[in-house]
Structure 1
């Protein structure tokens, strides 16, 4: 996640040689399960403690009249020593024969989960610590779930304090089975589960005489078995604009490459403005003026670039290569699903307005819908109207502008965010675009050298001839709500009254104009975009275009409204999913429930009901005839000449 709190870096060994591998590992677990003690022993066993450190810890414990405690190596703050808990994240560098490590010790106490998430977000792998005597606790499950949420799949588990249970194999197997089953249920397959005694040094770096029944690797062996993540340089280019500087006649766009590489001469696109330019030069700070000009920069570097033409650029814009078969651009959207961890002191409710931070991007967003809250204990999901502190929820977030982002599984740096309420970080999560369309193609204009034809027949002339104004009557609602039935009946009723009216129905349009479109979120959005443009042309011709489309996305309906300014009338044909499924005139709900139809609105794909429609007709509460009378009266009034 972004905007990490300050960490305490405690360097214990010399910097690693450049050619050696380095892996970042987070250590998490329930409070008092022995994380810091385990790390202290780990450093002692691997010879990573600097000269005099052991003696300093021993002397400190003697001054305080307390037993020697390895945990004080990690718990660098006085407040932590007094309370016996880890508050902030601490980073420690150490090495084994195989590689160098940065270990991030994250707090286990429930009150410091924000810091735990901060630490885990920086890691490539995790070591989970569980007390053999206490067993799997609520925090043990929550930490495992959060690691899954952050996309960390390389996990080892240390079942600590085996000395307190007499090094019992039976106890170890019971705790191992319980926690392994939980982790695998959330998609995390632990690499190894090791019985250890951190205080006594059992199975930290080698076998244990106290546990001859265990034949697997030690903690050091488990860590060395982790694989280094694929370098971010191999992913598509992503660089959030941090700032724009002016030097001499140069205008330098500064930022950090989170993934990919950029070269002089590359054609890049700035999202979400969709402006394309070429990279003229790559600038870097504190570079030797006599050195050759840079021609390439890679993931992890902070650089500046200049462009071959001046375009308007803002902080938060996301730079990528112009998309092709091999290089994808980020998605553009004003709405997305998110798996969210809520940290706010007050519970989260639908309609809450917050600030979203993603990279250097900041935008005002609204939590539009809480789909369900996840119980991290038993993974049960349930409907809820609020999300309490330290709970996980799946929500729908809508922004007040178009955002450029990636689904988390495609790129973690441009797919995770934090939420801020006033000045406090109150939540964080990962982006999912499941069920929602990439709007890039919908807002990109490729046609050039276009000159619109001006008609000689004015709108007033058409109104005078037809006796009414042109309009788009946009019927939206779930499948089975009655849209097509009402549309056809409305067309007939208006025709009998002398109106020029025509129905554009979903199935009819897909049988011709949009026969080449499927039912993916992107194809659904393009289907509605085309219909909106056609309906606008009908309305411009003085006719009443009646459309009967599910049109599930609010942004698509708003785009259709903009295509017919002053003529668009949104009508919500309202009926619950239960009522529509009971009707199921085409048998579609039955097929969707069996999985035969994927991405079916209301079942496996979202439907965003209108916020403020021009008219609501409730076919569940009223008869079709009553709804039709309401519609006819509305159209007659709206289209009065």
Structure 2
């Protein structure tokens, strides 16, 4: 058996290697489409194989009575050689005259998707391998979607085994069209996506341009790899320093961890999230360093001491004060589910984000994505190997970043019974940063009233309070609020309505409907409502107030005065009513960030009262409200 003959290597003009880190490329594709063979050939044809390696693989093949396979250069595990599949993730360094690379060979078999995700999560770009005979298989599409899910936007596609379809140009063009259509549906920039016809076995268009496929005029695989752009440097990104641990050493408290992005300098003022504590960097500690460094950068594991003895815990994220991470107890996740048991609404999992661990609950499964046609469907559970968009909620605030802002703090994994069952990317679409703004004014003091609240209540004949009506647009909040106001006023109550539309003509006229503006709108209204309630008024509010956290913050301003009333009607009912024509405009795309259509609504979990306007008439709903007021607020003079 002779060693396969290879074509001479292409002559490339040598360029100096770039000073930055190696480019990480993941190789993915359906099982048996030739990933490992393609890598083996690429290594051989670029002269990257250690001396004698090819001969050793050839001798091994002869001893086993097997034909020579380029894949054997990669398949290092005994189980892989016996079964002919890649099980684990392999990392191999090689170089072209332009720069150095780390190739990540990820398994294609369905049972090893967790390994594939692990490998792809580390990559800067990807090579997708498609068999010229079989075309785009389900697993090929699944891998493509996972690349999209992991934020990899630079993809090179190789149509492999062209020798098995007689090097046919029309077959290549058909598959290219299929691939381009699918990748375009994912939103990839096809202007920079190369699709290359190759034969890994014979070396066509791997490093050397194929003479047999002279109809192809594009770049080889090696040339395409050299054309991949370096990702944004982690040094240019905002500082994110997750705390691994805090050690007490020589009377010092050393905060230790690995800098994920950005840089730390001596004297920097850091903010630790989610606790929001701040302190200056007093020293930077490095192991086995003769001289203490004055700065540290992304990728370094260091310790720091602070000018104040703060209580800092593992999992907190240090940043510069001017650019901290987002704080939120709820976020959207684009999730790939790996668990044997399905993910379900209401179930809790341990979430790992950098060095932190949180218990999160699945608040909603918004849609399941079919990787074959990218269609979407609704479901209350996510099966193994499925892709879904979910909403996760924690009890406390989490320090995080949207993935498209910072990859390092925008990826998470879910754990159940010590096993990783899912992973995904963080999106804050529709949700606002919950970081407290604090009081910006100085020299201000709280002033106590001379008229106690109980005296006001006895004079009015009723307690002061806030009836906070929340629900979708069209649920009937304003109708019930003004009807209730009229009814109570006729009976001598000191009562007034704060309505969403009315306050936006004055108090909140400067606000729009972005998540951040919605939060500020409710903050202002909440404080105004508390002032009225403490003056003895019964304040009725009619606001969508879509975020549970915002309503909870108003409750915390005056826990004994706040009464949450859920005006319930499903989306279909509200759209049928559509009293202001807003749903129709939102469906036409004329209104952005519209609750229920393009922005989330979080219904109350423990409302003091729930009024179903779909199941009951206005009169019946009003009767329920007036009965609640009578039982709750009446005071004997």
Do the structures match in fold with TM over 0.5? yes
Could you tell me whether the CA contact under 8 Å between 1:487 and 1:546 is conserved in 2? yes
1:583 aligns with 2:577: yes
Equivalence for 1:10: none
> 1-side partners of 2:250 and 2:147: how far apart?
47
Q: Map of 1:87-126 to 2, 5 A cutoff?
A: 87-126=87-126
Could you tell me whether the CA contact under 8 Å between 1:21 and 1:99 is conserved in 2? no
> 1-side partners of 2:231 and 2:596: how far apart?
38
1:51-103 Cα shifts (integer Å, max 9, x gaps): 11111111111111101122122111111111111111000011111111100
Equivalence for 1:150: 150
Could you tell me whether the CA contact under 8 Å between 2:159 and 2:195 is conserved in 1? yes
Offset of residue 472 of structure 1: 0.9
Equivalence for 2:331: 336
Could you tell me whether the CA contact under 8 Å between 1:243 and 1:254 is conserved in 2? yes
Offset of residue 129 of structure 1: 0.6
Offset of residue 18 of structure 1: 8.4
Name the stretch that deviates more: 594-603 or 431-440: 594-603
Q: Map of 1:614-625 to 2, 5 A cutoff?
A: 614-625=608-619
Alignment counterpart, residue 200 of structure 1, candidates 199, 202, 205: 202
Could you tell me whether the CA contact under 8 Å between 1:191 and 1:222 is conserved in 2? no
> 1-side partners of 2:18 and 2:335: how far apart?
37
Equivalence for 1:274: 276
Could you tell me whether the CA contact under 8 Å between 1:267 and 1:277 is conserved in 2? yes
1:372-395 Cα shifts (integer Å, max 9, x gaps): 001111000111111111111111
> 1-side partners of 2:207 and 2:370: how far apart?
36
Alignment counterpart, residue 423 of structure 2, candidates 420, 428, 450: 428
Equivalence for 1:11: none
Secondary structure, counterpart of 2:246 in structure 1 = strand
Does the C-alpha gap of structure 1 residues 494 and 152 become closer, same or farther in structure 2, counting only changes over 3 Å?
same
1:255-297 Cα shifts (integer Å, max 9, x gaps): 1111111111112211112222211111111212xx2x31111
Could you tell me whether the CA contact under 8 Å between 1:255 and 1:304 is conserved in 2? yes
> 2-side partners of 1:486 and 1:228: how far apart?
58
Equivalence for 2:473: 479
1:348 aligns with 2:343: yes
1:316 aligns with 2:318: no
1:363 aligns with 2:358: yes
Alignment counterpart, residue 416 of structure 1, candidates 411, 415, 418: 411
1:472-506 Cα shifts (integer Å, max 9, x gaps): 10100111111111111111211222222111111
Secondary structure, counterpart of 2:408 in structure 1 = coil
1:263 aligns with 2:258: no
1:554 aligns with 2:548: yes
Offset of residue 449 of structure 1: 5.9
Alignment counterpart, residue 523 of structure 2, candidates 524, 529, 533: 529
Offset of residue 581 of structure 1: 2.0
Equivalence for 1:595: 589
Could you tell me whether the CA contact under 8 Å between 2:17 and 2:98 is conserved in 1? no
Offset of residue 242 of structure 1: 0.9
> 2-side partners of 1:276 and 1:527: how far apart?
28
1:217-265 Cα shifts (integer Å, max 9, x gaps): 1111111111111211011111111111111121111111111111111
TM value normalised by structure 1: 0.94
Offset of residue 183 of structure 1: 0.8
Could you tell me whether the CA contact under 8 Å between 2:18 and 2:99 is conserved in 1? no
User: What is the aligned residue count?
Assistant: 618
Secondary structure, counterpart of 2:260 in structure 1 = strand
User: What is the aligned-residue RMSD (CA, Å)?
Assistant: 1.5
Could you tell me whether the CA contact under 8 Å between 1:129 and 1:160 is conserved in 2? yes
Secondary structure, counterpart of 1:259 in structure 2 = coil
Offset of residue 447 of structure 1: 5.3
Could you tell me whether the CA contact under 8 Å between 1:472 and 1:564 is conserved in 2? no
Could you tell me whether the CA contact under 8 Å between 1:91 and 1:105 is conserved in 2? yes
Offset of residue 421 of structure 1: 1.0
Equivalence for 2:625: 631
Offset of residue 546 of structure 1: 0.7
> 1-side partners of 2:395 and 2:59: how far apart?
59
Secondary structure, counterpart of 2:178 in structure 1 = helix
Equivalence for 1:232: 234
Does the C-alpha gap of structure 1 residues 448 and 428 become closer, same or farther in structure 2, counting only changes over 3 Å?
farther
Name the stretch that deviates more: 585-594 or 347-356: 585-594
> 1-side partners of 2:153 and 2:108: how far apart?
19
1:376 aligns with 2:378: no
Equivalence for 1:242: 244
Secondary structure, counterpart of 1:565 in structure 2 = coil
Equivalence for 2:26: 26
Offset of residue 20 of structure 1: 6.7
> 2-side partners of 1:417 and 1:295: how far apart?
32
1:106-162 Cα shifts (integer Å, max 9, x gaps): 000011111101101101010011111111100111111111111111111111111
Equivalence for 2:47: 47
Secondary structure, counterpart of 1:556 in structure 2 = helix
1:570-621 Cα shifts (integer Å, max 9, x gaps): 1111112222222222222222222222111111111111122111111122
Does the C-alpha gap of structure 1 residues 350 and 20 become closer, same or farther in structure 2, counting only changes over 3 Å?
closer
> 1-side partners of 2:100 and 2:135: how far apart?
31
Gaps of 5+ in 2: 1-15
> 2-side partners of 1:21 and 1:233: how far apart?
12
Equivalence for 1:12: none
- Runs (4+) of structure 1 moved beyond 6 Å? none
Could you tell me whether the CA contact under 8 Å between 2:141 and 2:371 is conserved in 1? yes
Could you tell me whether the CA contact under 8 Å between 1:491 and 1:503 is conserved in 2? yes
Secondary structure, counterpart of 1:253 in structure 2 = strand
Q: Map of 1:162-241 to 2, 5 A cutoff?
A: 162-188=162-188, 189=190, 191-241=193-243
1:398 aligns with 2:393: yes
Secondary structure, counterpart of 1:134 in structure 2 = coil
Name the stretch that deviates more: 268-277 or 150-159: 268-277
Could you tell me whether the CA contact under 8 Å between 2:17 and 2:99 is conserved in 1? no
> 1-side partners of 2:576 and 2:107: how far apart?
51
Name the stretch that deviates more: 359-368 or 268-277: 268-277
> 2-side partners of 1:116 and 1:122: how far apart?
10
